[in-house]
Amino acid sequence: MAQIEVTRLPDATPRPRHVAIGTFDGVHLGHQAVIDDADTVLTFDPHPLSVIHPAALPKLLMPFEVKRDVIEGLGVRELVVIPFDAEFAGRSAEDFVERVLIEMLAATSVSVGENFRFGAKAKGDPQMLAARPEFETRVVPLVEVDGETVSSTRIRALVAAGDMVGARHCLGAPFMVEGTVVEGDQRGRELGFPTANIIPDDQLAYPGHGVYAAFADGVPAAVNVGVRPTFDSGRGVLIETYLIDREEDLYGRALRVAFVERLRGEKRFASVEELIAQMRIDVEDAKRVCASFTGAQ
């Protein structure tokens, strides 16, 4: 597949585009319905709330690089990124429509979710877009899963609770964490389970403490998210990934972990022997879950 073209808005040249607009954090099933057959996605980086109301900025579900890859997987040709700042936040909704959508992007059709708001003081709405004759407007209703609206807020809560199955039903794919593998204290290696360790980014969501079955760069894995209660390590949260039946040095490399299912909560063990026995069980459980995972929701 051709790599998606990433364009900063100031560098965009006009051409007929079918544009889907949104922040699209998580690129969940509701976002996918908005993007559907668009050839261009118009999004914001950083997240608008980081400029408008930093205290209200939630933990994001995915970093920009993952969002780009997921959007590319939907068949989108171009990702146009608005470098969101105070100046852009102050632009009126009319200015956004005329300068951005019509002049800069030459949009022939525009797709948004029914709750999309834009422009200074969020005065722009789908009705304003639909009233414009220059392009067709498609307003997409909110998507429901299990009788409840799919939203980034709902998915964040599921992820924090360790409900990877619920999160996957809303995302349409497993929840992912990506990070650079850092040097640990070799504890896992001493126990016979060498792990690739990631320190989660404080600005991003990550699963609640516990042990998970996952795929790490496509390889079945058992993953511990937590602060290692058996050992007083004095560290913050670590994501420790044991790649099953695969041994390679991952230090300094980016690792993408796709969480499939929570196996158990975090637990303190009375002895190292008990911990090792439980780790063996965790690895077998993770193997079983990964082997039966089809990728279906």
What DSSP letter does each residue of 217-281 carry, written as one string?
A: TTEEEEEEEE--TTS------EEEEEETT-----TTSEEEEEEEEEEE-----SSHHHHHHHHHH
For residue 10 the two structure tokens come to 């100031």
Q: What is the SS3 assignment for 6?
A: strand
Question: Do 199 and 238 contact (CB within 8 A), yes or no?
Answer: yes
Question: Do 51 and 85 contact (CB within 8 A), yes or no?
Answer: yes
> Rounded to whole angstroms, how far apart are CA atoms 48 and 120?
11
Query: For the chain, how long is the longest CA-to-CA vector?
Result: 71
Which strands form 107-113's sheet, in the order they lie side by side? 5-8, 78-83, 40-45, 17-21, 107-113, 136-140
Q: Nearest-CA neighbor of 9 among 112, 114, 88, 70? A: 88
Residues known to be catalytic? 240
Residue linked to tokens 């992820």: 159
Give burial (CB, 10 Å; 0-12/13-18/19+) of 117.
middle
